[in-house]
Amino acid sequence: MDFADTSPVALILSLIIGYLSGSVPYGLLLTQMAGLGDVRQIGSGNIGATNVLRTGNKGLAALTLLLDALKGMVPVLLARHFLGLDAAILAGFGAFLGHLYPVWLKFRGGKGVATFAGISLGFSWHVLIPFAIVWIAMAFIFRYSSLAALTASVVTTLTIFYVGETELGFLYVALTALVFWKHRQNISRLLSGSESKIGSKG
C-alpha cells in the first residue's frame, strides 16, 4: 500500500477521526433515551441493531442500523474526498475498530455488521451490493444474523479481489478477520445448534 502521496499526519488523523466516529454507541444511547434500559443486559449483550430488535422496538432497531452504517460511511467519504484512497482506507478501518472496541464502553462494542456495510457504501455501491445481497439471502433462508454476516463478509472480500481492487481488498481481509473474531461465540453456537434466530428474544 503506497501512502507516499498523503502526509503521515493526515493518515493518522483519518484513523483517529474514523475511530471516534465508529465508537459512538448508538444502540445503547437510543435504547436508554427510549426508556428501554441498557441493551447490554438483554439477549446477546451486544449494542448493535440485532440486539436492539430484541427490545421489541423495530423502529429503534432500524435507526440503530442506519446510524451504525453512517458512522462507517461518513468518515470514508470525507477522507476519500479530501485526502484520497489511502486515508479513506484508514478512516474505514478506524471506524470499524471504534465500533468493535469503543473507548467509552471499556472497549466492549458491537460486532460490526452495519458499520461494515456503511464502510462498503462509502467506497462504492458496487462494494456494498455483494454484501447486501448475500446478507439478505442468508438471513431470509436461515434466519441467523451471525451466519449472514460471516458469509457476506467473506463473499465481499473475495469479490473485491476478483475485480482487481487489491489495495481495498487488504482492508477487507482485516475487517472480515475481525468479524469472525467478534462472532467466535456465535460460530460455536451455530455449530452446536443453539444460536438465536433473527427476531427472537433470546
pLDDT tens for each residue of 33-90: 988 888 888 877 788 888 888 888 899 999 999 999 999 999 999 999 999 999 999 9
Which sign, positive or negative, has the C-alpha torsion 180, 181, 182, 184?
positive
The three-state secondary structure class of 78 is helix
Q: What is the mean pLDDT of the chain?
A: 91
At 199 the pLDDT is 64
Q: How far is CA 149 from CA 25, 35, 186, in A?
A: 20, 29, 11
Distance of CA 93 to the CA centre of its chain: 10
pLDDT at 200 over 80: no
Q: 42: which DSSP letter?
A: S
Q: 48: which DSSP letter?
A: S
Contact 26, 49 (CB under 8 A): no
Taking only the tens place, the pLDDT of each residue in 134-146 is: 999 999 999 998 9
Domain boundaries, the chain: 8-192
**pTM (2 d.p.):** 0.92
Taking only the tens place, the pLDDT of each residue in 154-164 is: 999 999 999 99
Which sign, positive or negative, has the C-alpha torsion 109, 113, 116, 118?
negative
